[in-house]
Structure 1
Amino acid sequence: MRILASVLGLLSLAVALAAYGARYLPISGHPTLIAAAVAPYLVLSAPVAVLLLALGRRWLLTVVALAVTAALVWVYVPRFHSPPVDASRATASVQVRVLTANLGMGQADPPALVTLARDTADIVAVQEMTPEAADGLVAAGMDAAFPHRIVLPAPLASGIGIWSRHPIVDSGRIDGYALPMLGARIRIPGVVVDTTVLSVHLAAPWPQPIGQWLQDIAQLPDTLREVGQAAGAGAVIVAGDFNATTDMAPFRRLLGQGYADGGAQAGAGLARTYPGDGKWPPLLGIDHVLVKNAAAVSATTVVVRGSDHRGLLATLRVPVDMTSS
């Protein structure tokens, strides 16, 4: 019994160590991509290793397993806990609700999405918006609820757009990626400096070759740095389908230059958005809202009827005047 427990404990510890290491390894192909994607599930083997090694009376290995478990708790528990706001350091802010929704190559149900957006959001970033999907959203009342927009419908996965309740004062297309992106300056009432909003969609790394995704996600930090510099003291909101989870090292490199992942900041856990078609429970959090000079106070996934993704809805605090900070 002790031998069996020891062997199983060693196997569990090896799996836990692999899961921890996968978060920091460079991603060069599908094996390392998949290892990082499933890491949140594999880490459950760490406490199992503690129990089994203790049953096997392998005390030194038990201590190692406890250390690995503690390290993984330090990594994952903060994702499920939103830190309290320090009232003494809080600045005046305006709440802005942002919804990002991948339309599943235009298959999302337009009336359902318009109802969802109208009831929950102030800014909507959409991806995979076909011309037919754009027409359907307009016919369902999207423009009535969100009178300001910049949209680039295109076949299959290439369409993208931003709808806003607040005026869009400047906008432009961001090229150089496998799929086009959009940027807009939005004038939020009460906020001194206009807010920059990006709707992004990185190439999918699976099942096709991973090369284009690697190129996109390696280039995006430079784009975010340039956008942040251009925004100055204004808030920046980057919403969309990154085709990457927070356990992938290339994704975490996006969080330089003052950016934060809104889901993690708000304690939303894994914020799993894919697959979202209802046939299987969502397993991966690949849709995100990143923020700079702003903070997420809540984030939750929402059903986008007809799409193979769930949407991500984040409530943000945008400071009234960062220039005085």
Structure 2
Amino acid sequence: MQQHKLGADLTVSAIGLGCMGFSQGYGATDDDESVAAIHTAIDAGITLFDTAMSYGQGHNERLLARALHDAGENIRVATKFGIVRTEAGVGLDAKPEHIPGFCDASLARLDRDVIDLYYLHRIDPEVPVAETVGAMAELVRAGKVRHLGISEATPEQLAEAAAVHPIAAVQFEWSMLWREPERDIIPAARELGIGLVPYSPLGRGLLTATLDSETVATSDFRRNDPRFQGDNLTSNLDQVAALRDLAARLNISAGRLALAWLLAQGNDVVPIPGSRRAARITENAAAAAVELTPAELEDLAKLVPDHGWAGDRQSFAVPSKTRTTS
């Protein structure tokens, strides 16, 4: 497995594992199967595991603790705070006075002494980013967190965060299906020396070329996404067919080609595809061994052009009015 660097000194596998699907978003789960899938990821050389306190309301962190109980010292765990799920609904809370408690609760669920990479999951519009990151920096000084990250930030917010404390990684949606980050957040992050962690790097499964107009409805994350609806879906499936045909000529799967394309964008890129299937995890990890030539990348740009994708992505804004108060 190739190694990529996030920020100044966080070295991890070039492909990570997004763990959300083990607890929510894509249908029923089985914890024993999930643990086995995580073990498959370790065997494939994956060292970065991405979770959040909000995934399954803590279930995901506890599951990861079980799966990583006997894992080696090279394993790195990233978790996130800021999205809160209560009986009243889903909201945001990045108040500085609440952050130590969020961290301690995650450490307990993860059964770890330190979090390798601690993200602000979403910006809380009621709290200046600098104040939130200032509280996160205190966790680093206390030895509870090694590196800081931020998710779904604007370039301006990223700069505000980095002015308070070094930021190792910014997480955002990026794939062949969604190229918008290339306009602003990626250049801004690179100017600040911040690593890039794309989530949904396989376009919520579309880029694996295993979905069709029938199967997209099996997940809320797809069913409610404009890119998976009507004429947009028809156009996007045409793009996927071209991707699949080129991948076949290269003797690899469409998913491996899509991930290899992301990895070709730089050694500061660490995609975190998620899957509950051990075979898919192995397939995704193998993308790190695919080195696309300049000619192959040029063919890909011509046959699957960035302007050929249709539809805006689903909004993942969370209302801030639903908050914790203690």
Per the normalisation by structure 2, the TM-score is 0.31
TM-score under structure 1 length normalisation: 0.31
Greater fraction strand:
1
Structure exhibiting the larger radius of gyration computed from Cα positions: 1
Report which structure shows greater RCO (CA 8 Å, sep ≥6): 2
